[in-house]
Structure 1
Amino acid sequence: MEFSSKAFKEGNCQGQKVVHGEIMPLVLQPPEPNKGDLESLLFALKENKDWFEQMIIKNSAVLLRGYNVEKAEDFNEILEVFGWDDIRYVGPAPRTHVYKRVWTANEGPLSEFIYYHHEMVLNDTNSMRGRGWEDTFGTSDRAEAERRAKALGMELEWQPNGAVKAILGPHYLTKVFDGRKGRKMWFNTVVGMHGKEYSSAMMADGTELPENVVKEMWRNH
């Protein structure tokens, strides 16, 4: 599928790569200098919604450049155009809610290494590197926290000190998503969780993952 749209002009950015024969990310700019305001962008997205979503699948990522998007409220309006599910983050990274669908990315200390992972994979919510269970699940009620955890495929084990152990899985290492060209995607937190005191990844039978296997995954991913 070649790039074809009168509503956008294709651009470029530093760090673009060719992945499976496609440029990633696809950079979209205003077609004319006077079309960079927020209203023009929202109109273009609404009129070309299906095409835009096809470009996301085709190129794996789309970067909008040259538009007058100045604040969180503007960014949220762009997200609302597509009507995507509002999937709230559940995990250890400290994040701050800014406005409706807009959150900060990660406010953890710079000393913490962010390992290779898929953003939609859930991991242990009892990590000392991140948030407590009340913040993670958005409730101070244990029964409600358990209900929300179950909906995400997690089991909670309450500890004597009031903390909680979250059990997720077992999971396959990769996942194939519908409509994504049948490509396998890395979909787990094995590398980052292995050998941690407060969060650990294990085999489905509860045994430890061989260290050489984890190192091989580090090398390949």
Structure 2
Amino acid sequence: MRYTGAVVRTHVYKRVWTANEGPLSEFIHFHHEMVVIKESPEKVMFFCEIPPPEGGQTPLVPSFRVTERMLEEFPEAVEEFEAKGLKYTITALSTNDTSSIRGKGWEDAFGTPDKAEAERRAKAVGMDLEWLPGGGVKTIMAPRALTKVFDGRKGRRMWFNTVVGLHGKETSSATLADGTEIPETFVKRCEQIIEEESIQFKWEKGDVLFLDNMAVLHGRRTSLPPRKVLVAICK
């Protein structure tokens, strides 16, 4: 399974890639891997080659707990947003920008410099493209679910979205599928709940971490360099 997404990675070997190569000074929000596209990997495997001297933990959250708590505090909003669906947009340059945690250029992301071919490949994973002056592109993904229930996971309703990570950012947005803004109070409280439910995985050299991508949200704490973690995904 090939990585598809907005983050800069280096291909290492077969299905092995580097983790997000964006600045270590930036926190990577909790997410399910490749949640914005039609088909997400079921498993994510990490390997620590170089642990950071300080910080850089991988925080983990059981996704169903976020859904449970959001339903407790925002029952009507959760069901309304679920019914309407979500829309994500991410703006990308044509070439990679390693100064950003979402700096992958569209040519790298789609594996081609040809716009028509990029549109075809984007459509295959459920994206629409809007070309921008200067060679950039806006990727549009809608509708997307707020929560999902997957087989073999006790019928739990997972918080299978990246609203907190994309909402109101400089190069991205998360709204309802019809373009309606998601209230800031909803997003901020969700962010707080995710933090409250998180545990921290501190890396040591040689550590291997297996995640059920359907059930666990993960992120990246800020750290001092160097930090090198490799990652592989599979169905």
The reply on whether 1:126 has 2:92 as its aligned counterpart is yes
Separation in 1 of the partners of 2:104 and 2:165?
17
2:11 corresponds in structure 1 to 97
- 2:6 maps to a residue whose letter is P
TM-score, normalisation: structure 1: 0.57
Matches within 5 A, 1:197-208: 197-208=170-181
Q: For residues 197 and 187 of structure 1, what CA distance do their matches in structure 2 show? A: 22
Say whether residues 1:162 and 2:135 are aligned partners: yes
CA RMSD in angstroms, aligned pairs only? 1.7
Contact 2:91–2:171 under 8 Å retained in 1 = no
Are residue 141 (structure 1) and residue 114 (structure 2) matched? Answer: yes
Q: Which residue of 1 aligns with 2:184?
A: 211
What is the distance in 2 between the residues matched to 1:125 and 1:147? 18
Cα distance between partner residues in 1 of 2:172 and 2:23: 18
Q: Which structure 2 residue ranges, 5 or more long, are not aligned?
A: 37-87, 195-235
Q: 1:207 deviation in Å?
A: 2.3
TM-score, L = length of structure 2: 0.54
Q: Percent identity?
A: 69
Is the helix fraction higher in 1 or 2? 1
Alignment of 1:183 with 2:156, yes or no, is yes
Distance 1:208 1:177, change over 3 A: same
Q: Which structure has greater strand proportion?
A: 2
Q: Deviations over 1:33-54 (max 9, x none)?
A: xxxxxxxxxxxxxxxxxxxxxx
Q: 1:38-53 to 2 correspondence within 5 Å?
A: none
Residue-by-residue CA offset, 1:43-98 (whole Å, 9 max, x unaligned): xxxxxxxxxxxxxxxxxxxxxxxxxxxxxxxxxxxxxxxxxxx2x22222211000
Alpha-carbon distance, 1:125 to partner: 5.3
Aligned to 1:32: none
* Partners of 1:180 and 1:152 in 2: CA distance: 25
Indicate whether 1:193 and 2:107 are aligned.
no
Contiguous gaps of at least 5 residues in structure 1: 1-85
Give how far 1:170 is off: 2.1
**Which structure would you say has the larger Rg?**
1
In structure 2, distance between residues paired with 1:199 and 1:120: 15
Q: Count how many residue pairs are aligned between Structure 1 and Structure 2.
A: 135
Q: Report SS of the residue matched to 1:215.
A: helix
